């Protein structure tokens, strides 16, 4: 397979950056998208050029490390997969492929296609946890009965890998799908109730502070999410937020 790649190159956070064109040949349909980029980088290194920097880790679609805005879509044209699980058979011989980093004020570019997603970590630190007693007599989590439907919904929310595709896809760079998945996961379980009010208020406050945009319910995030996290979570977070905001005593 012969392709033309148009890739965002940026030397560092303060570099202006620009699109660069790379022709590439000999790409097999069974290669993953990242393997295709590995091939490109091998060639660049052989030529003495700087390889393209991109994030990756597990390469099996569960770590949330890989990103890339491919041909105008987060994680490329396939549905329900991360970039590492996107195969080159989804493209045709002779295609031109645009590869860009996530674009958001809250996700500044570090180099080439690598962006800084620690804004998500700071949102998590603001409330995306449950405080448990670790003094040695911790209660068995399974001792608390949980309705099957709630457990299922919490699990679905928990499958969010925090890759940032929702932010990258959203025309407003809103992080609502990510934050709502994290809020929902804990709001649905009894263990999450103790801190429920503070959690949603603090996480939303942090989300706003980090410079993410507002949700306009376009639904693009839900479509592009590699874990197919539902907009149900955003509605749940909106409810949780109002409940907390109306009852909070300060």
Partner 1 sequence: MSRSVILKSSIVKKYWMALTGLFLCLFLVGHLLGNLQLFAASEEGRRAFNEYGYFMGHNIFIKILSYLTYISILFHAIDGILLTVQNKKARPINYVKNNAGANSSLASRSMAILGSIILIFIVTHMANFWWVVKMSSKQMPLHSIVYTDQKSGMSQDLYITHSGNMLPTAYFESSEMAPAQMKIKNGTEFYSAEGDLLIGEGYKDMHSLVYAFFGHDKTKYGFPENKLALWAVIGYVISMLVLAYHLMHGFASAFQSLGLRHPAYTKLIKGLGTGFAIIIPLLFAIIPIYIYLTK
The contact set with partner 1 (CB under 8 A) reads 6, 8, 19, 69, 71-73, 77, 98, 100, 103-106, 169, 171-174, 201, 204-205, 207-208, 211-220, 223-224, 231-232, 234-242, 245-246, 248, 250
Count of helix runs (H) and strand runs (E) in the chain: 8, 7
For residue 207, the minimal CB distance to partner 1 (Å) is 7
For residue 76, the minimal CB distance to partner 1 (Å) is 10
CA terminus-to-terminus distance, the chain: 62
Q: Which helix (H) or strand (E) holds 6?
A: strand 3-9
- Closer of 18 and 137 to partner 1 (Cβ): 18
- Closer of 63 and 213 to partner 1 (Cβ): 213
> Please, what's the largest Cα pairwise distance for the chain?
64
- Phi, psi of 12, deg, nearest 5: -165, 180
For residue 118, the minimal CB distance to partner 1 (Å) is 17
- Closer of 17 and 59 to partner 1 (Cβ): 17
For residue 111, the tally of other CB atoms under 10 A from its CB is: 18
For residue 15, the minimal CB distance to partner 1 (Å) is 12
Contact 51, 34 (CB under 8 A): no
For residue 152, the minimal CB distance to partner 1 (Å) is 13
For residue 2, the minimal CB distance to partner 1 (Å) is 20
* Helix, strand and coil in the chain, % to nearest 5: 40, 15, 50
- Closer of 45 and 235 to partner 1 (Cβ): 235
For residue 63, the minimal CB distance to partner 1 (Å) is 23
- Closer of 143 and 247 to partner 1 (Cβ): 247
- Closer of 50 and 208 to partner 1 (Cβ): 208
Nearest residue to 103 via CA among 64, 68, 57, 51: 68
- Closer of 45 and 69 to partner 1 (Cβ): 69
- Please classify residue 122 by burial: count the beta carbons closer than 10 Å to its beta carbon, then call 0-12 exposed, 13-18 middle and 19+ buried: middle
- Please classify residue 107 by burial: count the beta carbons closer than 10 Å to its beta carbon, then call 0-12 exposed, 13-18 middle and 19+ buried: buried
Q: How far apart are CA 10 and CA 109, in angstroms?
A: 8
């Amino acid at each position: 397979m012969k392709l033309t790649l148009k890739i965002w190159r940026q030397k560092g956070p303060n570099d202006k950056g620009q699109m660069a064109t790379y022709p590439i040949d000999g790409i097999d349909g069974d290669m993953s998208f990242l393997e295709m980029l590995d091939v490109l980088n091998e060639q660049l290194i052989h030529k003495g050029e700087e390889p393209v920097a991109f994030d990756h880790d597990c390469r099996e679609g569960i770590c949330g490390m890989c990103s890339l805005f491919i041909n105008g879509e987060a994680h490329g044209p396939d549905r329900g997969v991360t970039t590492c699980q996107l195969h080159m058979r989804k493209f045709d011989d002779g295609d031109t492929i645009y590869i860009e980093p996530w674009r958001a004020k809250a996700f500044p570019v570090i180099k080439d296609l690598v962006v800084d997603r620690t804004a998500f970590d700071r949102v998590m630190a603001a409330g995306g946890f449950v405080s448990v007693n670790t003094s040695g007599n911790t209660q068995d989590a399974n001792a608390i009965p949980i309705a099957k439907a709630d457990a299922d919904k919490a699990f679905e929310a928990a499958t969010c890998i925090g890759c940032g595709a929702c932010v990258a896809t959203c025309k407003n760079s809103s992080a609502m799908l990510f934050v709502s998945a994290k809020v929902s996961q804990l709001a649905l379980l009894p263990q999450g109730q103790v801190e429920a009010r503070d959690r949603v208020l603090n996480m939303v406050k942090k989300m706003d502070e980090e410079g993410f945009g507002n949700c306009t319910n376009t639904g693009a995030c839900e479509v592009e999410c590699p874990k197919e996290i539902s907009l149900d979570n955003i509605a749940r977070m909106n409810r949780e937020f109002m409940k907390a905001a109306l009852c909070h005593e300060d």
